[in-house]
């Protein structure tokens, strides 16, 4: 993966590194970087949008839908940067990421639709695992949510469904792309779970580090997985499933 996209991966790592520094000590970062610290976080998705556009030329519905997901990820990042100034920005960020996940779901559905009759063993496992996680984590958060009960319930369902649809790509696309996007979806789920725990249950020290590290890795893996995507021919799928 890194060898195939070495230059971009290095550039993204630089953004990753500076964002982690900002999360480690926000006050010092603002003093050292001045207003530049407002640019670093948006660069996460902006760099990925450029990378995706360059390699795919946004040809095809899959690339376009992943790009839309990144656009709303960018909006969500920008809203959450100002959450400390106005708490209403959190809701705007939540809505932005919700739309971004829906865009990813619709992209992953294209791969599922490519060959929907393939054996669904992994889909059944994903439904159970992510369904139980969604329900269990929401019930755990619920006493702490107050007026956010319905928005968080909807968001929990959508991101869990995004992970299920990532699993649904198995056998329909090349293994490399499947693995990248699958682990990207898992990391997104972890990042959002940490964010919810930190905001609604118990704020913990340096929470921004694991939240942003998993988030940045998730967006990177999903984007590179989209670039590396190759649909399998039906004859190949049928041979593998026999």
Region 17-37: what's the mean pLDDT? 76
Domain extents in the chain: 6-241
Region 53-82: what's the mean pLDDT? 95
Distance CA 159, CA 165 (A): 10
Half-sphere exposure for 112 (CA within 13 Å, toward CB)? 15
Q: Which long-range contacts (CB under 8 A, 24 or more apart) does 226-229 make?
A: 226/52, 226/56, 226/62, 226/63, 226/66, 226/107, 226/177, 226/181, 227/5, 227/51, 227/52, 227/55, 227/56, 228/4, 228/174, 228/176, 228/177, 228/180, 229/62, 229/111, 229/173, 229/174, 229/177
pLDDT at res. 173: 95
pTM of the model: 0.92
pLDDT tens digits, residue range 71-124? 999 999 999 988 776 678 899 999 999 999 999 999 999 999 988 878 778 889
Q: How far is CA 64 from CA 49, 67, 87, 93, 150, in A?
A: 10, 5, 31, 21, 30
Distance CA 169, CA 200 (A): 33
Residue with tokens 């319930």: 153
Q: Residue 152 pLDDT more than 90?
A: yes
Region 11-17: what's the mean pLDDT? 93
Q: How confident is the model at residue 242 (pLDDT cuts 50, 70, 90)?
A: very low
Sign of torsion over alpha carbons 44, 195, 90, 205: negative
């Amino acid at each position: 993966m890194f060898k195939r996209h070495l230059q971009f991966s290095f550039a993204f790592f630089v953004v990753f590194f500076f964002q982690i520094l900002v999360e480690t000590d926000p006050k010092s970062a603002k003093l050292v970087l001045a207003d530049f610290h407002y640019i670093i976080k948006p660069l996460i998705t902006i760099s990925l949008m450029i990378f995706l556009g360059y390699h795919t030329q946004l040809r095809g519905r899959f690339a376009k839908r992943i790009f839309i997901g990144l656009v709303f990820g960018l909006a969500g990042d920008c809203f959450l940067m100002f959450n400390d100034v106005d708490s209403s920005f959190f809701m705007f960020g939540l809505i932005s990421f919700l739309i971004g996940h829906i865009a990813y779901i619709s992209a992953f559905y294209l791969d599922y639709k490519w060959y929907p009759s393939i054996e669904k063993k992994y889909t059944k496992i994903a439904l159970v695992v992510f369904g139980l996680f969604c329900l269990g984590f929401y019930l755990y958060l619920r006493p702490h949510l107050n007026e956010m009960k319905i928005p968080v319930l909807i968001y929990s369902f959508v991101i869990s469904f995004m992970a299920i649809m990532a699993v649904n790509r198995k056998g329909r696309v090349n293994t490399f792309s499947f693995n990248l996007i699958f682990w990207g979806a898992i990391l997104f789920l972890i990042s959002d779970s940490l964010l919810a725990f930190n905001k609604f249950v118990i704020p913990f020290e340096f929470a921004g580090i694991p939240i942003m590290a998993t988030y940045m890795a998730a967006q990177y893996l999903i984007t590179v997985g989209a670039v590396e995507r190759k649909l399998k021919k039906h004859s190949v799928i049928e041979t593998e499933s026999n």
